Amino acid sequence: MSIASGRRQQAGDQPGAAPRRRRWPSWTAAVCFAVWTLERLAGAEQGSFDIQLMTLTPYAVVVTALLTVLFLFRNRPAAVVTAVSCTTLAVTVAPRAIPPAAPAVVAPGPVLRVLSINLFGRADADAVVRLVRTYDPDVFSALELTYREAAALDAAGLGTLMPYQVLQADRDSTGSGLYGKHPLTELTGLFTAIGHNMPAATITLPGGTTAQVVAVHPHPPLGRRAEEWNASLAALPPPSPRVTRVLAGDFNASLDHRAFRDLLARGYLDAAEETGEGLVPTWPNGRAVPPFIAIDHVLVDRRAAVGRTEILDVPGTDHRGVLAELRLPPAA
């Protein structure tokens, strides 16, 4: 008997038996995704890395499905774990692609069309104005609105199409603004903005119906700003029983973030989720890597109905725009 074969027998292998497969890589992957699933269900993400990881939850469904198939041939107990993770995550993610039944509105109010775009300070102003002409929004929430970008939009004709403005432009990404087709009245003291500028205004539609709109843009939850991001979302105003409230902008958050789901639970609908567009990514845009996460949203009071949502490509910016057509509840 050779030395090598003797060592194999001492290790417990029988002559002619198939070599044992190492299972620890399978279990490592299975346990990691199981922890991910538990964190997502409990809303227990902590710190910048965890918060950013949650944004990729829709892709975890695909990965765990593929791992389940692979592990069926290598490690069936691990396959069971990944199958449970896959099924659980799919239950949380899949409804975003399925529009629910249209809500019954006994006495529907007027339609409010809301456009939200993170301009990145350098969006193609002519392209933005073309979108405004095409989709005819009543209000436009403009994020990362620099002085230069505001001037370019005005030169391209936005001021003619949307003459009512509540702007808090700035030299850099801090700036934001609201443009209105109908009269806008600036709201002060509605909430404490944490992050970028977040102007708020009341829009008065033909017929006298009003709605309050907030341009939302917290800082991203990077590094030490994770706590600030949580506080920023928590500080946004809840729905009001007296007036319809709309939050539109770059939330730097997805439906897989606890802080964002808590905001929805206060009484808001996510327009994209309501129309089956909740899995359409909005960032990054115009780069070598295609958009892969959905962090731009239009939220509206649950008493309203969402007619349609479109995710729009905007040249020159790293975000896609969100257009939501909202049917407001009748005036109280």
pLDDT of 106 over the 80 cut: no
Work out the average pLDDT over 276-286: 96
The answer to whether residues 112 and 61 touch, using CB atoms and an 8 Å cutoff, is no
Helices (H), the chain: 3-10, 24-42, 47-54, 57-71, 76-93, 125-135, 147-155, 158-161, 226-235, 258-265, 271-274
Cα separation of 195 and 199, whole Å? 12
Cα separation of 82 and 26, whole Å? 10
> Domains of the chain (ranges plus CATH)?
21-97 (no CATH), 111-327 (3.60.10.10)
Cα separation of 243 and 302, whole Å? 12
Q: Is the peptide bond before 284 cis (omega within 30 degrees of 0)?
A: yes
Cα separation of 110 and 181, whole Å? 15
What are the pLDDT digits (tens) for 28-68?
999 999 999 999 999 999 999 999 999 999 999 999 999 99
Q: Is residue 51 classed as helix, strand or coil in its secondary structure?
A: helix
DSSP classification of residue 224: G
Structure tokens at 11: 């290790």
Q: Which residue has the tokens 């099924």?
A: 87
What are the pLDDT digits (tens) for 143-201?
999 999 999 999 999 999 999 999 999 999 999 999 999 999 999 999 999 999 999 99
Cα separation of 233 and 251, whole Å? 8
pLDDT of 19 over the 80 cut: no
User: How much of the chain, in percent, has pLDDT values that exceed 70?
Assistant: 90
> What is the predicted pLDDT for the residue at 147?
98
> What is the predicted pLDDT for the residue at 129?
98
pLDDT of 12 over the 90 cut: no
pLDDT of 17 over the 80 cut: no
DSSP lists the bridge partners of residue 113 as 325
Query: C-alpha distances in angstroms, 159 versus 111, 130, 153, 201, 250?
Result: 22, 13, 8, 17, 23
Report helix angle 226-235 to 258-265, nearest 10. Answer: 10
Cα separation of 72 and 65, whole Å? 11
pLDDT of 283 over the 90 cut: yes
pLDDT of 21 over the 70 cut: no
> What is the predicted pLDDT for the residue at 108?
74
pLDDT of 6 over the 80 cut: no
The answer to whether residues 248 and 282 touch, using CB atoms and an 8 Å cutoff, is no
| 180 or 24, higher pLDDT | 180
Structure tokens at 191: 């909430």
Cα separation of 330 and 253, whole Å? 30
pLDDT of 107 over the 80 cut: no
Q: Mean pLDDT for the chain?
A: 92
| Pairing status of strand 111-118 against strand 139-143 | parallel
User: How much of the chain, in percent, has pLDDT values that exceed 90?
Assistant: 87
> What is the predicted pLDDT for the residue at 55?
98
Query: C-alpha distances in angstroms, 315 versus 127, 139, 217, 254, 295?
Result: 7, 20, 20, 23, 18
